[in-house]
């Protein structure tokens, strides 16, 4: 890395520390009062005219993205020009209805476009019913979220799903209503307002790829209405479906094999996931306009982050796996342009659980750079964490992460260790072979390891969707159970419990140092174990992803301040990391991240270069004790460094720093 690497990315030097902020704020208050008087703001200006002018400025500013984004996907539509104008009318109408406090947030974020990149951003993810029963119930736990330092909450699917099995809410029957079991649209607005008052963003899912078969559009299509049939991908016979299926993988081979479902009238409809999840036809401009209207309908009461579900699948092309097609990126760019115009406080997060080469483009690559999604799940980081722990070898991780394309500086990864889904081993043959393993062999090993069947495995988990045709399978289990806590507790093995907790702290330190928003999955902060109670509910009993979607154990959470308990050790460890992260400007997501190979297969390391001085993060992902040679600091542009996670640890060029099993060090200039 060159000495100049920290220059030229436009990052501001460190702001004053907390102690000086009070005085600075007070002076700002006085300065604002003077400015108000000088501007004559006691005499009300024509606010309406100014707001409208601002809308037109944004339309102009983001028009090229909208235009360019829709050009190819809409190329086949005759109604294109008319639809584009109708879309602009929707944007303007929704903006006109946007409440004053959210317009203020819009303005604020236009001046602080890096708001979501701040090191203070910590995400927390939960199912409303499993965390607190209802949306109103969530408000009883605001202090808990505050204690954790949460600034972003992802409410798992809350829009009205179909009855019966609904894929955890990912089969939406009405995008404009909230699941009545959780509450109402008003409750959502109330919660979003409470969150906002505490500096917390509200993220909800927007399922873009498919609706439930029970959605009124799908019902009309099933009844033969041509307008709504054109919202989906339907075929009169098996001819095209058969041709597509030659190259289509299956997402749920065990219970939803194939990618098409036959309708009572004989037609076939595209259903990538379950038979009751119908894929939308994004070549139809109306689908785009409907979705944007839905986004704005939820943005105006205060939702400010949309998780775009299953985006990789939005565009189909014969002869391909129908994922990650170029048109997906065009559409995402156009979606973002619409939000910037009509609700600029809103950002988008891509859920594309795909291989490394296909993932980076969701943050925008080439002509889309920085113009696509603001956030995207970094599933490769997650996969590599688990892979390194199991193999006790970081070579694959170092290789894959090092080769990963750099993200645009205006975006952030959503970095996570566990989420509500299974872990799919997105590791290519080429990468596995580069370290001497076979792709299928390594993937099969990982599933065996985390299912707990591999000799010596510390994990307790379950295989998901074994596909005999491809030999592939995925894994389910909570962070704690996969990391060894369940086994350690069951065996009464205090050392194994210690190791499991260390693995979890290590994982948290990894995602907190990465260039993005760390997403904590509910219950992991207190080590909730696999939960088999889903088997009692016939609607979901087939889907063992529910083992890692437990109900919040508030009784266990009570122990979070007791250092003698597992809950206390985990919670204190995590909140300490969060507090330290908050003050480290190097962990702002605009700060470049460079993976470095320190030449030790136990260690994974990267550097965040910053005008304040670099931060070098080093992790021992194995159960072996090793040392970091002080000479490696030079690779990160550091000479003598101190570990901010363990201030007793210092190292200079001639020395070494101990790296016991599963330690994380965040090294900065001493
Ligand atoms: C996403 C969700 C997953 C769901 C799928 C289909 O991948 O995370 O839970 O099954 O989309 O909607
Ligand atoms: C989506 C995700 C995939 C996940 C699946 C269901 O396809 O991309 O990773 O396994 O949904 O869980």
- For the chain, the C-alpha Rg in angstroms (whole number) is 25
> How many helices and strands, by DSSP H and E, does the chain display?
23, 25
Q: Is 531 in contact with 546 (CB distance < 8 Å)?
A: yes
Q: What is the pLDDT of residue 248?
A: 96
- Alpha-carbon gap, residue 119 to 208, rounded angstroms: 30
Please indicate, yes or no, if residue 379 is contained in any of the structural domains: yes
- Between the CA of 558 and the centroid of ligand 1 the distance, in Å, is 32
Q: What is the CATH number of the domain that holds 351?
A: 3.20.20.80
- Alpha-carbon gap, residue 343 to 107, rounded angstroms: 10
Span 431-461, pLDDT tens digits: 999 999 999 999 999 999 999 999 999 999 9
- Between the CA of 26 and the centroid of ligand 1 the distance, in Å, is 48
Q: Which residues neighbour 104 within 8 Å (Cβ) at sequence distance 6 or greater?
A: none
Of 129, 167, 304, 309, the catalytic one is 309
Q: Which domain holds residue 245?
A: 210-279
Q: What is the CATH number of the domain that holds 269?
A: 3.90.400.10
pTM for the model: 0.93
Angle, helices 395-403 vs 379-391, to 10°: value is 160
DSSP helix/strand/coil, 607:
strand
Active site residue 139: no
Please indicate, yes or no, if residue 325 is contained in any of the structural domains: no
Instruction: Name the residue of 168, 424, 426 to mutate for ligand 2: max ligand atoms within 8 A of Cβ.
Output: 424
Q: What is the pLDDT of residue 255?
A: 86
Span 102-118, pLDDT tens digits: 999 999 999 999 999 99
- Alpha-carbon gap, residue 92 to 101, rounded angstroms: 18
- Alpha-carbon gap, residue 347 to 241, rounded angstroms: 35
- Alpha-carbon gap, residue 532 to 573, rounded angstroms: 28
* Shared domain check, 202 and 141: yes
- Alpha-carbon gap, residue 88 to 285, rounded angstroms: 13
Please indicate, yes or no, if residue 350 is contained in any of the structural domains: yes
Q: What is the pLDDT of residue 12?
A: 45
Q: Is 603 in contact with 618 (CB distance < 8 Å)?
A: yes
* Shared domain check, 166 and 124: yes
Ligand nearest to the CA of 170: 1
* Shared domain check, 493 and 351: yes
Q: What is the pLDDT of residue 291?
A: 98
Helix, strand, coil content of the chain in percent (nearest 5): 45, 15, 40
* Shared domain check, 409 and 369: yes
* Shared domain check, 233 and 223: yes
In the chain, how many domains are there?
Answer: 3
Q: Is 575 in contact with 148 (CB distance < 8 Å)?
A: yes
User: What token pair was written down for 293?
Assistant: 């209207």
- Our answer on whether the CB atom of 421 is closer than 6 Å to any ligand 1 atom is yes
* Shared domain check, 482 and 369: yes
- Our answer on whether the CB atom of 310 is closer than 6 Å to any ligand 1 atom is yes
Nearest CA, atom 7, ligand 1: 310
- What separation in angstroms does the CA of 144 have from each of 131, 141, 151, 152, 190? 11, 5, 12, 13, 18
Q: Which of 540, 566, 586 is where one domain is finished?
A: 586
- Alpha-carbon gap, residue 550 to 528, rounded angstroms: 7
Q: Which atom of ligand 1 lies nearest, measured to the CA of 252?
A: 10
Q: What is the CATH number of the domain that holds 604?
A: 2.60.40.1180
Nearest CA, atom 5, ligand 2: 251
* Shared domain check, 571 and 596: no
- Between the CA of 251 and the centroid of ligand 2 the distance, in Å, is 7
- Our answer on whether the CB atom of 167 is closer than 6 Å to any ligand 1 atom is yes
- Alpha-carbon gap, residue 141 to 131, rounded angstroms: 9
Please indicate, yes or no, if residue 456 is contained in any of the structural domains: no
- Between the CA of 311 and the centroid of ligand 1 the distance, in Å, is 10
* Shared domain check, 612 and 597: yes
Q: Which of 557, 586, 615 is where one domain is finished?
A: 586
Give the largest CA-CA distance in the chain: 77
- Alpha-carbon gap, residue 90 to 509, rounded angstroms: 44
What are the DSSP calls for 272-309, one per residue?
A: SSSTTEEEB-TTSHHHHHHHHHHHHHHHTTT--EEEEE
The residues of the chain scoring below 50 in pLDDT are: 1-13
* Shared domain check, 159 and 230: no
């Amino acid at each position: 890395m060159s000495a100049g690497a920290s220059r030229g990315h436009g990052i501001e030097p460190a702001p004053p520390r907390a102690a000086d902020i009070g005085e600075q704020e007070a002076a700002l208050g006085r300065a604002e009062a003077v400015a108000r008087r000088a501007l004559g703001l006691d005499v009300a200006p024509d606010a309406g005219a100014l707001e409208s002018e601002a809308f037109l400025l944004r339309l102009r500013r983001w028009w090229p993205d909208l235009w360019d984004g829709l050009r190819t996907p809409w190329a086949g539509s005759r109604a294109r020009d008319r639809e584009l104008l109708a879309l602009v009318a929707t944007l303007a109408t929704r903006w006109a209805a946007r409440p004053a406090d959210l317009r203020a947030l819009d303005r604020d974020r236009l001046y602080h476009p890096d708001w979501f990149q701040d090191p203070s951003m910590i995400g927390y993810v939960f199912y409303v019913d499993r965390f607190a029963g209802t949306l109103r119930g969530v408000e009883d736990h605001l202090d808990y979220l505050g204690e954790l330092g949460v600034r972003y909450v992802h409410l798992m699917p809350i829009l009205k799903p179909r009855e019966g099995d609904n894929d955890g809410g990912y089969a939406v029957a009405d995008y404009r209503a909230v699941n009545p079991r959780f509450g109402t649209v008003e409750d959502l607005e109330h919660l979003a307002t409470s969150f906002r008052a505490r500096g917390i963003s509200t993220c909800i899912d927007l399922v873009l790829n498919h609706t439930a078969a029970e959605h009124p559009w799908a019902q009309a299509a099933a009844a033969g209405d041509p307008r709504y049939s054109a919202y989906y991908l339907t075929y009169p016979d098996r001819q095209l479906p058969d041709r597509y299926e030659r190259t289509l993988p299956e997402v749920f081979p065990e219970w939803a094999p194939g990618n098409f479902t036959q309708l009572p009238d004989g037609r076939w409809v595209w259903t990538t996931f379950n038979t009751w999840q119908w894929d939308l036809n994004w070549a139809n401009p109306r689908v785009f306009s409907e979705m944007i209207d839905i986004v704005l309908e939820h943005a105006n009461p205060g939702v400010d982050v949309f998780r775009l579900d299953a985006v990789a699948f939005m565009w189909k092309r014969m002869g391909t796996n129908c994922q990650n097609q170029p048109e997906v990126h065009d559409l995402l760019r156009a979606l973002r342009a619409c939000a910037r115009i009509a609700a600029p406080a809103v950002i988008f997060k891509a859920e594309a659980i795909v291989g490394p080469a296909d993932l980076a483009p969701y943050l925008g690559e080439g002509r889309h750079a920085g113009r696509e999604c603001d956030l995207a799940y970094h599933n490769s980081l997650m996969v590599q964490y688990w892979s390194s722990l199991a193999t006790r070898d970081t070579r694959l991780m170092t290789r894959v992460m090092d080769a990963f394309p750099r993200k645009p500086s205006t975006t952030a990864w959503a970095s996570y260790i566990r989420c509500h889904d299974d872990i799919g081993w997105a590791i290519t043959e080429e990468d596995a072979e580069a370290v001497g393993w076979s792709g299928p062999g390594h993937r099969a090993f990982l599933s065996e390891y985390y299912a707990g069947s591999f000799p010596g495995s510390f994990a307790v988990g379950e295989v998901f969707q074994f596909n005999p045709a491809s030999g592939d399978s995925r894994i389910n289990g909570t962070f704690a159970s996969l990391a060894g806590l369940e086994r350690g507790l069951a065996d009464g093995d205090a050392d194994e419990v210690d190791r499991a907790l260390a693995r979890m702290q290590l994982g948290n330190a990894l995602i907190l140092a990465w260039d993005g928003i760390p997403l904590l999955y509910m219950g992991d902060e207190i080590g909730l174990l696999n939960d088999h109670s889903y088997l009692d509910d016939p609607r979901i009993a087939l889907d063992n992803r529910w083992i890692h979607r437990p109900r919040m154990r508030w009784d266990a959470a009570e122990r979070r301040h007791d250092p003698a308990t597992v809950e206390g050790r985990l919670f204190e460890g995590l909140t300490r990391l969060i507090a330290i992260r908050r003050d480290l400007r190097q962990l702002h997501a605009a700060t470049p991240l460079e993976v470095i190979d320190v030449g030790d297969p136990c260690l994974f390391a990267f550097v965040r270069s910053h005008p304040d001085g670099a931060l070098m993060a080093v992790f021992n992902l194995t159960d072996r004790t090793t040392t970091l040679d002080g000479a490696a600091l030079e690779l990160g542009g550091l000479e003598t460094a101190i570990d901010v996670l363990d201030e007793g640890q210092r190292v200079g060029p001639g020395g070494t720093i101990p790296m016991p099993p599963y330690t994380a060090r965040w090294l900065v200039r001493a």
